[in-house]
Each structure stands twice: as C-alpha cells, then as structure tokens.
Amino acid sequence: MNFTELVTQRPSLWMQQFFLKWWFSWAANMNIDFRQPCDICRYEPNRLCCDGTRVGVGFRHSNFTEISTPDSSLQTQQTLHRRMDRCYLKNKPGVEKRQMIAYREALDNIARTTIAEFEPLDIPENNDRINLLMQALPEEAHQSFQRFIRGMSEFERVAYASVLKMLATTASVTSILSPEYALFLQEFLTNENLSDFEFNRQMYEMRAFAPEIRDLIAESMLNNNNILPDDIKLFLVHLTNESLNLPVYAPEDATFQFGTYNPEKLGRAYYFNEHGVKLRNVRKFQIDEDRADRNNDHDDEAMDFERCRKIYSKIQQSLSKTAAGDEIGWEFTSSVMKTGCSAYCQMKDELYRTRDPKANWAANMNIDFRQPCDICRYEPTSINDHELNQHPAHLTCFFDHSHCYGFHMTVAEGRKDPSASLYSHLAKPPQSVFYDFACNLQEYCLNRESGYYRNVRFVHDIFHGYSHKCSTSFRSSRLQGFESVNSEICEQFNRF
C-alpha cells in the first residue's frame, strides 16, 4: 500500500496498524536517505540540535556499549579548571566560598536593579554592596565601575549593567565571549585606523556573537564624541584576555577508526563522515574520579539564583516525566495515539530500520516488539522510580537543517552523551549546539575536552530556555541569525 492510497482511506488515524503504515509510507515517499550528509553543511555542520527520548519498554533488555565509556588504554588526564575558575568573579585563595557567593549576588542585584528601574545607584541601600564589590572586581574594571555608579548616562549605564548581569553568574567567560570572537573584539579595540565603513561592518557582525558588548560600545561612544572611553576599553580588553588565556587540552587528531561502525553491536550510527566510523577515543579525566557521589546535573553547584533544574510544566507532570529534559516522551505520545506503549516501541523499531537498514541490532536481541511491557501491559500510567529501572533505553540524536546525523542508545541520557558523541565522531566541532541543558553541558565539556569545545556556543532551545535561571548568554533569542533556526527539531522528531 503506497502513501497515496493510504491518505484516501478514512479509518481512525490513531489505529495502531494504520498509523504505522501511514507514517512509514510517508517517510519512504520523501526519498530521503539519512545516511547521506546534509546538502548544505555536508560533514561540517555549523549548528546542531541534540536531544534524547525514551524509546520504549521493548528495549529494556537491549545490550549496547555506552558511547561515553572512556578508552581504558588511555592515561587519565588532569582537569585543568572547573566552573569557578572560568567565571568572571573567580574563587580566590584565602577568600571563603560563601564570601565569593556574596560578591556575585551583590553584582547581580545591582545589575538587575539598574536594568529594571533605570535609577542612579548612589543611594544608601546600595552603598554596602558597592563597597563589597570594589574588593572583588578585577582592577581593570574599577574605573568603569566607579563611573557606572555616578557618572554614566542612563542608556550607557543600562548597557553596562546588562554586561555585568551576565558576568555575575558562575557561567564561563567564554559563554559570553568565546576565544574565537575574543580575537575579533581584540583587533577591533586596538585598531585605531578603522574606516567608518569597516567600523560599521564590525559593529554589525558583533550582534551575532556579543550583542550586549556591542550595545555597550555603541552607547559609550555616543556619549563620548564617538570615541570609546578608556575605562570601557580597559574593561573590554580584560574580558578578551580572560577568554583567550583559558588553558585547554588539545583534542586528539581525527583519524578514521575503521571497524568501529557496527550499529548491531554498539547501538550507535553517526554519519559525521562518509564511513560512519569513530574519529577519536573518549578520554578519562581526573574530575570523573574526584567525587563518586557527584550528581548528574552538576560537577560544581551553581548559585541559588542561577541554579537550573529540568522543570516540567503542570500538564507534563500530570502525564509523565520521561528522559531527562524530554517533554514529549513515549508515554505522552502513547496517550495521544491511544495505542499503548507496545505500538510506540514497534514504531521506534521500524523507524530505526528505515533510518539505517544495517542497524538491525535491536532485532538481533530477539525482542518481540509486538509484546506489551511486562509491568505496564497495555495501560502505562506514569514513569516512577520503579519503572525507570525497567525502562532504561534512550535515543539521542543530532540534527541540523532538519537533517538527522545519527543516533546512539544509552541507559540514561545526560550531558555525557552529546559531549562524547561529538568529540568521538565529528572532526571539527560545530559553532553552536542547542540542548535543553546547555548551561551544564558547557560546564561538562569544558571540564574535560576544553580544547575541542572552547569556541563552541552552547544555547538552550527556545522551549526549554523559558525555565532556566542561568546566565542569559545561553539564550538563543539574544543572538542575531538564529531567528530561522528550528531549535525544536529534536522535540518534533521525538514526538513520533
């Protein structure tokens, strides 16, 4: 039965067999071979969207090798720096952690108050915070901060406060200004012979990577006879140096590891190169051994006002909590389709067969996807702790321009999956990665493969970004050029 014949019939769309035939007939009708690279990006995608979803109870007995498993033959690498070493107000020797938190909270409060009220800061209730911050701020920021308190115009003060608000968090300075763009800004700040055309061009380009810094430069010059004040220049040069001087581990050279493309055995199939093979081995770092009780969300805890959790809506909570960060999981889909978890498992199995004819590893496990879950039978209720142990399989995929670059199976989807997948299979890192927990994904990546990820911009997809309290540097809406990006392509794909 072909696609045209199916659409002319009138059975219920959510009947199990009809839906499966309709979906895969439609997919086949599109003549898409997912083993081919994106026509635009080829094997060097600039932007990737990643997400995981629970693939159903039928995979609970599957055997596969975790993609994030380090190569035991490689030497354990030292962790060069941690979250609090990369933020603007770093932890200092001899200063208690609680005191550093007070510094950051004071800076955040002053910045937010300025942005919200547009009021001068030279008022009694702020004096204690100001005096506190003068002890913590780098010397290069003292002159500009003192003028911010008493001498800036209204719009320049708000632009400066917007930058301070981002610097008040424990996010890496590179999330605000990556080393690649820091070089661009450094040249811009030190070249005094720019023509008007070149100046305007570079200011326009700055909107794509540091719009807050661009606004600060523009407002400062407007209030200083079109000359960038020395205190602002000193402050920005310091920011560029902080980004450029971050020590990194160089990634291993990318070489084809022939024999590593084996979806049937390994449970993964990525097509970031023409052979689908690994290019690097995952390395182990000291941070992975430091704390056996470290939770899955943080290597180092953030502050209270910026600590992000994977928050679910009330509607979602009433249905189910699926894979970490996956708001459209198998149970939600099953409840809409009215077909139960068995149908969804069968559909996922058929999807993999369509995605890659060689990836028949699931079938080799002798699993009958027509059988219901042993626990839920045909009436799944919710994913509680007991059921989570019985439904361990997740699928993690990467997309760009609505093109799927591949997938891998994992017991519990988390930050380790996109980090290990890209490093091991993609020769050149993308410019941007969309992920529902991008703030902590960046921390995880920089704590380990800092050389590979140093210039990668981590951003939340729009749907999940509303629930995050972290630095605004992870918001894609602040950057020019992301208006046409479908950051929810993974959610849309996972819905099926």
Distance, CA of 436 to CA of 463 (rounded, Å) = 8
- pLDDT for 158 equals 93
> Could you please report the per-residue DSSP string of 124-149?
HHHHHHHHHHHHHS-GGGHHHHHHHH
The answer to whether 419 touches 429, Cβ cutoff 8 Å, is no
Integer-rounded Cα Rg, in Å, for the chain is: 25
Q: Which residues are registered as beta bridge partners of 77?
A: 285
Of 408, 478, 463, the residue nearest 166 (C-alpha): 478
* Token representation of residue 359: 């990836």
Whole-prediction pTM value? Answer: 0.76
Please report, in angstroms and rounded to a whole number, the separation of the first and last CA atoms in the chain: 21
Q: Which residues are registered as beta bridge partners of 457?
A: 432
Q: How many CB atoms lie within 10 A of CB 81?
A: 15
Instruction: Look up residue 42 and give its DSSP letter.
Output: B
3-state secondary structure of 381: coil
Q: Tokens 């026509």 appear where?
A: 39
3-state secondary structure of 54: strand
- pLDDT for 304 equals 67
What is the residue extent of each domain of the chain?
A: 32-77+250-494, 86-244
The answer to whether 353 touches 339, Cβ cutoff 8 Å, is no
470: exposed, middle or buried (C-beta count within 10 Å: 0-12, 13-18, 19+)? Answer: buried
- pLDDT for 369 equals 42
**Sequence-ordered list of residues with C-beta below 8 angstroms from that of 460, at least 6 positions apart, any chain:** 434, 435, 436, 437, 438, 439, 468, 474, 475, 476
Calculate the alpha carbon distances from 254 to 162, 192, 427, 431 in Å.
40, 40, 6, 18
The answer to whether 462 touches 483, Cβ cutoff 8 Å, is no
Flag residues of the chain having pLDDT under 70: 1-35, 55-63, 118-125, 291-298, 301-307, 309-400, 494-496
* Token representation of residue 382: 């919710």
**Sequence-ordered list of residues with C-beta below 8 angstroms from that of 251, at least 6 positions apart, any chain:** 280, 423, 449, 451, 452
Amino acid at 413: E
Amino acid at 161: A
